[in-house]
Amino acid sequence: MLFNSLSFAVFMTAVFLIYWNIPAGYRYLVVLAANCYFYLGFGVRNFILLCIVCVATYLGAIFMEKCHGSLKKLCFGLPFAVSLGLLLVFKYFNFAGQILSDTLGIFGIGFTPAVLKLAAPIGISFYTFKVISYMVEVYRGKLPAQRNFAKYAVYVGFFPQIASGPIERPGHFFEKLESLGTLSGEAGEKFEKNISKRSGKASMAKGAFFRFDGFSYEKASNALKLMGVGFFKKMIVADLLSGYVTKVFSNVTAYDGFALMTAAVLFSIQIYCDFAGYSDIANGAAQLLGFNGARNFEYPYFSSSVKEFWGRWHISLSTWFRDYIYIPLGGSRVGSLRYALNIMITFMVSGLWHGANLTFIVWGALHGAVQVLETFAHNAWARLRGRDPKDKAYRKKGAARIVSIVLVFIFATVAWVFFEADSVSDALYVLTNMWHGITSPVAYIKGGLQSIGINSGMMIHLVLVTGMLFVYDLAAYIAMQQGSTIFERFNRLPKVVRWIVYVAVVDLMVIWFMQYGADSSSFVYFEF
């Protein structure tokens, strides 16, 4: 069941209505049932594997609390091995076999690896990291083991996040799960008074069908707005661009010049809109049920450094790698060479997490290498000028920041070529041949656009939708920098203005779907 489908709209509506119309103490059971129904849509086999991971880690954490020494390590190690082992088998078995075969071939040793013809379960990379996080936190004594299996299963299989994240941390999730729907003090009294005014029956807050106790109209409204933004990014922008990107990257040697450059730039926008769109929809759906999901994107293409980029891109994953790989390796509190090694290991593992292909490892290595060079250059320049490299006042401003933002986007685009290409040789072909014909700019641009089917009418559409995306992200970014949100500012506008915007957006989407159709397409990160 895809987020961008009618079936999900019906499903989410049903879950929402049932969830808010039963006593707060039982709402997690509605979410559990929704989790099971949602994930069963991806196949019974996948559901069984999820259950195995869930049961193994649930029991392991409980036994861990009761054991000490080597027995405690065993209680940690067994479920950890089960969870990570399933991930490694499904995602990396064939890749490891091919690497072994190629390595032995160098020494003239023939070896034909076994091939596992099974697709990796949807979301296995994400829920594996969730349960590892949970196991580690319980092992370290930072989190008590969850005794209620149903609540633990709600965390592991939370349907808005199961397919592609965000990777929610267990402590925050369980804390929210325990407090869902509860009203006390002023909030409770205010709710009771509002219900009484509307119905004349104070008991309605506790007994009527449409009870909605604990429900916040403002939060639900913002959740729907967030989902709307996500649908725009995915269905209007990402899906429009994906056709041109796929056309080129599926057969890169058939193109050259500006066609390759265009495809590279469009993919940078596509993958952002596709994944950020998914995250917005996921967090919006979670917020409709009272959960505040982990923020996954904070306008990364406004970053003035690669380090800042990774503080804004796929935040739940980058912080996971920081906390469970980078910091245990020593982080930055080591010598320069060790720091560089820690960064490179973290980013290369991150690349491998995305897929069993050398292209992803190169993509991660590029980001790691540039971040290391960037850090060394920044520290050297700061010391040369007698400044503390950690001084927050020492930041790029004005024109220098704008230039840095452009350079970071260019670098990210170059790295994304490896991410999207089928092989390293294809990626190198794109990067070396995109300049062919640039000495004749008009013919270079015109020929490149024509070769991938972008005419003047489509160019207007592309400029329109990417322009709308840029304006929205810029406004949201500015609001965030000023300690607010774009929705808070929008909600302060006169009601008539807000409704004009609502109607205009709905009309635009209807016209768009009439022109281009509204077929559901999968999200890029479903592959990971």
Dump pLDDT digits (tens) for 360-376. 999 999 999 999 999 99
Residue 225 above 60 pLDDT? yes
**CA–CA distance, 508 with 502 (Å, rounded to integer):** 10
Judged by DSSP in three states, 11 sits in helix
| Residue 379: per-residue pLDDT | 83
Distance CA(320)–CA(332), nearest Å, equals 16
* Interatomic CA distance for residues 477 and 465, integer angstroms: 18
Q: What is the pLDDT of residues 84-117, one digit of tens each?
A: 999 999 998 888 888 877 777 777 777 777 777 8
Task: Measure the CA–CA gap between 460 and 454, rounded to whole angstroms.
Answer: 10
Q: Are the CB atoms for 315 and 493 separated by under 8 Å?
A: no
Burial label, 293 (beta-carbon count in 10 A; 0-12, 13-18, 19+): buried
Band (pLDDT 50/70/90 cuts) for residue 198 is: very low
Mean pLDDT of the chain: 87
Instruction: Give dist(CA 163, CA 497) in Å, integer.
Output: 36
Weakest-pLDDT range from 36-45, 171-180, 321-330: 171-180
Half-sphere exposure of 57 (CA within 13 A, CB side): 32
Which residue matches tokens 């991971």? 53
pLDDT at 404: 94
CA distances from 20 to 177, 197, 203 (A): 14, 20, 16
pLDDT for 203 beyond 50:
no
The average pLDDT across 199-203 equals: 38
Label residues 5-15 b or e (16+ Cβ within 10 Å = b): eeebeebbeeb
Report the range of poorest mean pLDDT among 73-82, 229-238, 339-348, 504-513. Answer: 504-513
Check pLDDT > 60 for residue 242. yes
Confidence of residue 260 (pLDDT cuts 50, 70, 90): very high
**Alpha helix ranges (H) inside 20-148:** 27-40, 44-66, 69-106, 124-139
This prediction has a pTM of 0.88
When pLDDT is averaged across residues 131-146 and rounded to a whole number, the result is 96
Report the pLDDT value the prediction gives residue 524, as an integer from 0 to 100: 62
The pLDDT of residue 519: 59
Instruction: Give the mean model confidence (pLDDT) for residues 175-204.
Output: 50
For residue 209, is pLDDT > 60?
Answer: no
123: helix, strand or coil? coil
**What is the 8-class DSSP label of residue 356?**
S
Two structure tokens written together for 347: 């980013």
3-state helix, strand, coil in the chain (%, to 5): 75, 0, 25
Q: What is the pLDDT of residue 50?
A: 97
pLDDT of residue 393: 53
Cα–Cα distances in angstroms (integers) from residue 442 to residues 79, 445, 449, in the given order: 61, 5, 11
Give the pLDDT confidence score for residue 514 in this predicted structure.
Answer: 67
Q: Give the pLDDT score at 266.
A: 97
* DSSP state, residue 178: H
Of 102 and 496, more confident:
496
Q: How far apart are CA 44 and CA 100, in angstroms?
A: 32
Do the beta carbons of residue 508 and residue 518 sit within 8 Å? no
CA dihedral 522, 40, 155, 283 (to 10 degrees): 30
